[in-house]
Amino acid sequence: MNSETELTGAEREAAQTVFGDRLELAELYVGHLATSGIERGLIGPREVPRLWSRHVLNCAVVESLIQAEARVADVGSGAGLPGLCLAIARPDLQISLIEPLERRIIWLEEVVDDLGLDNVELLRGRGEQFVGDLEVDIVTARAVSALVGLLDITLPLLRGTGSLLALKGRTAEEEMTKAQKKLNKYGVRSTEILTVGEAILEQATTVVRVDL
């Protein structure tokens, strides 16, 4: 493995907690991100030293919010964040990676094949194109859109029941306020801003949870 992507002591402990006996698969995935992921423009070169902390572990801890054997749609999956991280951490989940760009789909397909992930399917297109075709319990999204726009892309996929888990940063509260009218329009049952991974990560992950 590239020396820049080697796990530090604290990262290894966190990764072991989240991935368990599938840590080798996670390391293989990070290897792809640090090589072909950069070559094909899915990840910026400056991200290599923080692939574990800022990206993979940041995404993987979200698995604690997902019930057993759930069907998950990851909208705007890009480099597989968070979809592939969740698929590695939780082999019980069935995950659909939704991504409109062909070059990203090709890369994701190569990674899924190399890791031998049989709980992942790839769908090329935008989230709204698959409304009515998918049956999912959870929709995830990271760095796709501000919440007010994200709701239109993700909530219809839930067919009236389920949860959106949107990975957000410091703007979470502000985005939630701006999206209030839209949340009311969709008849949302509850919303909350959660932090996950506090016990194992240097910087916890902020998630906006929207329940229908």
* pLDDT mean over 14-25: 97
pLDDT > 70? residue 2: no
pLDDT confidence of residue 144: 85
Q: Tell me the per-residue pLDDT of 105-154, one tens digit each, with 9 for 90 and over.
A: 999 999 999 999 999 999 999 999 999 999 999 999 998 889 999 999 99
- pTM of the full structure: 0.96
Return the amino acid letter for 29: Y
189: which DSSP letter? S
pLDDT band (50, 70, 90) for residue 6: confident
Sheet containing 205-211: give its strands across: 120-124, 94-99, 71-75, 138-142, 163-168, 205-211, 190-196
Q: Where are the domains of the chain?
A: 61-211
CATH 3.40.50.880 is held by the domain 61-211: no
Q: What whole-number percentage of the chain has pLDDT above 70?
A: 99
Other beta carbons less than 10 A from residue 134's beta carbon: 17
